[in-house]
Structure 1
Amino acid sequence: MRTLFDGKVFVSYRQIYVDSGSDFGGDMYATFAGQSNGLAGGAVPGLLFLVTGLHTGDVTFTVELHESAPPVDDSWEDIVEVSFTPAGPKVSLDEWDGESWPLELAQVPYRVRYSATGMDAGAELDTPDDDDLGPDRYLLQFWPDTPCPDAVVKQTSDQADYWHGVARKVPTPSAPTAEQPAP
């Protein structure tokens, strides 16, 4: 296991991202199209849209790279998995306001586990005082794997329940037909 990032990140509007040159366009719902989990949107190639409990402020965030699937740590309150393949060689953990940290990831398919604790407390607090850390914390784990559907591994918080419900209402994009060519 190698730690790629360990520190605090500033979240805005309950958002933080892993991006690799995606064509995101700012449509949060597109990142969850066809998914059952609402915490880690992986439907836009080259992008992970990550939801937090805290609305605005600093949270503790760790990113790890593993050679194979790590054991699930049941001490986390909410755990989801998605597939992710970098769209380009430069991958970064990005705050909403533009601050970013490079992540040393090869351009291969990964399985990603996003684990959270304290999402309800973060949502209740909304925005901490300037130098205070939010009560929620997050772990993002990558390992090489073939792409497969997303999964809710564990859900205990009301926030995760809410966001999973939102994601499940986002329609799966339809495949282009002869009458409707791809854009």
Structure 2
Amino acid sequence: MERVLLDDVVETDYGQFDLVWGGGFGFDGDADRFFAGQVNGLVGAAHGDGVYMHFGRRSGGSPVRIVLADVAPGVPEESWEDVVEVSIDVRSEDVGWTSWGGESGGDLDGVAAGSYRLRVSARGRDIARDREFADGLFDAYLLELWPAPAEPDAILRIGSEDARYWHREWGSRRPT
């Protein structure tokens, strides 16, 4: 069974989108803390009070869909160019999302405390980066969350140059 927790165009700045729990604030600029021990550079899950994601677009709106499922999803659709999975330990039932500096955000009702796997799928990162301040929607994100024991993060697919850049810059914090 799946439950949609968010399906909307989210306005971000600096491309920042965070999942937070227990009153957490979100990304503070310390990539080493958020990406410690990870190979991917798109979804920082090493900090215990939340998960940091950066979108291809610097400022503007991006469609975001967050789904809570009972079981792991199947193979990602081909339309998703970049796909990463991380494990998270949600320590509170007070779970939400926020953009840079708390400019926008909301609750994610129904996520209980516990161990989860999070798959983040993206498309349009390159065009969104190139049109970072233009009007229109260029990149889109699907976040799938399901109960699972912890395991190392994984890069399932790389299709954009933007993702390659971030995997090099902020990923590779542990040997592959």
TM-score normalized by the length of structure 1:
0.86
The answer for unaligned runs of 5 or more in structure 1 is 173-183
In 1, Cα distance between equivalents of 2:122 and 2:130 = 15
- Aligned residue number for residue 20 of structure 2: 19
- Aligned residue number for residue 64 of structure 1: 67
- Aligned residue number for residue 109 of structure 1: 115
Question: Which amino acid letter does the alignment assign opposite residue 96 of structure 1?
Answer: W
The answer for unaligned runs of 5 or more in structure 2 is none
1:31 aligns with one of 14, 34, 39: 34
Rate the CA distance shift 1:87–1:151 in 2: closer, same or farther, 3 A: same
Q: Tell me whether 1:166 sits opposite 2:169 in the alignment.
A: yes
In 2, Cα distance between equivalents of 1:137 and 1:127 = 16
In 2, Cα distance between equivalents of 1:31 and 1:164 = 13
Residues 46 and 84 in structure 1, CA contact (< 8 A), matched pair in contact too: no
In 2, Cα distance between equivalents of 1:66 and 1:17 = 19
Question: Which amino acid letter does the alignment assign opposite residue 18 of structure 1?
Answer: L
Q: Alpha carbon RMSD of aligned pairs, Å?
A: 1.7
Q: Tell me whether 1:83 sits opposite 2:87 in the alignment.
A: yes
Residues 28 and 49 in structure 1, CA contact (< 8 A), matched pair in contact too: no
Residues 31 and 43 in structure 1, CA contact (< 8 A), matched pair in contact too: yes
Residues 117 and 146 in structure 2, CA contact (< 8 A), matched pair in contact too: yes
SS of equivalent residue, structure 2 residue 58: coil
In 2, Cα distance between equivalents of 1:52 and 1:24 = 15
Q: Deviations over 1:62-113 (max 9, x none)?
A: 0000100011223200000001122322110111142211112000100000
Percent identity over paired residues? 34
Q: Deviations over 1:12-63 (max 9, x none)?
A: 1111100003375713411111111111110001311011100001100000
Question: Which amino acid letter does the alignment assign opposite residue 26 of structure 1?
Answer: D
- Aligned residue number for residue 150 of structure 2: 147
Q: Tell me whether 1:119 sits opposite 2:119 in the alignment.
A: no
Rate the CA distance shift 1:24–1:18 in 2: closer, same or farther, 3 A: closer
Q: Deviations over 1:138-173 (max 9, x none)?
A: 00000000011000000010010001011235479x
1:96 aligns with one of 97, 100, 107: 100
Decide which structure has the larger Cα Rg and report it. 1
